[in-house]
Amino acid sequence: MASKTSAAAALCSACRASLFPSPPSASPHRTSRRLPSLRSPTTTHRRRTYATTSSSSSSGETTPPPPPWPSSPHPTPYEIFGMARRDPYAKRRFHQLVKLYHPDTTPPPTSSSLSPSVRTERYRLVVAANDLLSDPSRRQLYDLHGAGWASPYDDENHLRRRDRDWRHQPGNAARNATWEDWEAWHEEQRWRQRHPGAAPPPGPVYMSNGLFAALVVAMCLVGALAQKNRALAVGEQYVEFAEDRNADIGRAVRRSASAAAGRSREERIDSFVRERENVAYRYRPGRYDDAPSPSPDVPGAVEEEAPRLRGVKVPPP
């Protein structure tokens, strides 16, 4: 039994020697040289770090405090984040404002005096400003046209105001109506491109302001004198017309008076009848000057007309 155990041990040692040969011993007469290792390189285990607050960092840099809330009743996204239009977007500022105004967080001493509704409204504005500034396309659209902020009604009013402001800006094309206006406008734009930042060239000056004002005053005086002369002429014409009319009426009265002075009673009655008939027949003089022609169809028409014209002298035919 002991012989079997010793034989097994010898066999195991032989197998171990064949499987794991011992490294050759270095010769004392040869220069020792390190052979490249065939084993895989050892991985360096680094300690994983986590985000810490600025007070625990060893760099010594302090994070700037969150910006104060703007005093404007309608703040812009840039005012809420406390940044200029050319500043890059910073996510850190959004995190600071969220921690400061989130309704579910404990308010810090600086904002503890705010009511929950005010903090909620400010948090809503912070989120809306972050959505706008974090998107480059929406931010560019807001910078150019002011769109994407506040309610749609405010956006429409803002666009209307921008359109009205554009029409009053110098160098705009809102008042170009004819091809001469467009030609002058294009010439001005080309001059601005050739001379950026310089004031546009002055237009042609035909006269000074004082001379133009004097010319306007002189034209007003000439017009006033012309109107005065015209009024005087019209007044004189009216006076002459009234005098002529009165003279004609006086002459007619004198003629009728002189004619009635030498008439007999029958002549005066005849004149009265004529005037009465003229009044009845809308003043048609000479209606009964001619003798009435007898009607061929009705015999005795002349005899029937005679009683109606009693007292009227009919001239002989």
Answer whether residue 232 is part of any domain.
Answer: no
Segment 288-305 shows an average pLDDT of: 50
CATH number for the domain that contains residue 122: 1.10.287.110
**What tokens appear for 149 in the block?**
């902020």
Helix then strand then coil, in percent of the chain rounded to 5, is 55, 0, 45
Last residue of a domain, one of 130, 153, 168: 168
Bigger pLDDT: 226 or 90? 226
Rounded Cα gap, residues 157 and 144, in angstroms: 16
Domain-located, residue 153: yes
pLDDT band at 50 (very low <50, low <70, confident <90, very high): low
Range of the domain at 269: 265-308
Q: What pLDDT, on a 0 to 100 scale, did the predictor assign at position 212?
A: 92
Whether residue 2 lies inside any domain: the answer is no
Q: Is residue 269 part of a domain?
A: yes
* Boundary (domain end) residue, out of 168, 202, 219: 168
How many Cα atoms are found within 13 Å in the side-chain-facing hemisphere of 294? Answer: 11
pTM of the model: 0.33
Q: With left for phi above 0 and alpha for psi between -120 and 50, is residue 148 left, alpha or beta? A: left
Of the three residues 132, 153, 168, the one that is the final residue of a domain is: 168
Count structural domains, the chain: 2
Domain-located, residue 94? yes
pLDDT in tens, 112-162: 678 888 888 889 999 999 999 999 999 998 888 877 786 555 556 666 777
Both tokens of residue 154? 């405010």
- Residue 139 maps to a domain: yes
Residue 46 counted as domain residue: no
Report percent pLDDT > 90 for the chain.
Answer: 17
In a domain, 301, yes or no: yes
Q: How far apart are CA 81 and CA 83, in angstroms?
A: 6
Residue type, 209: N
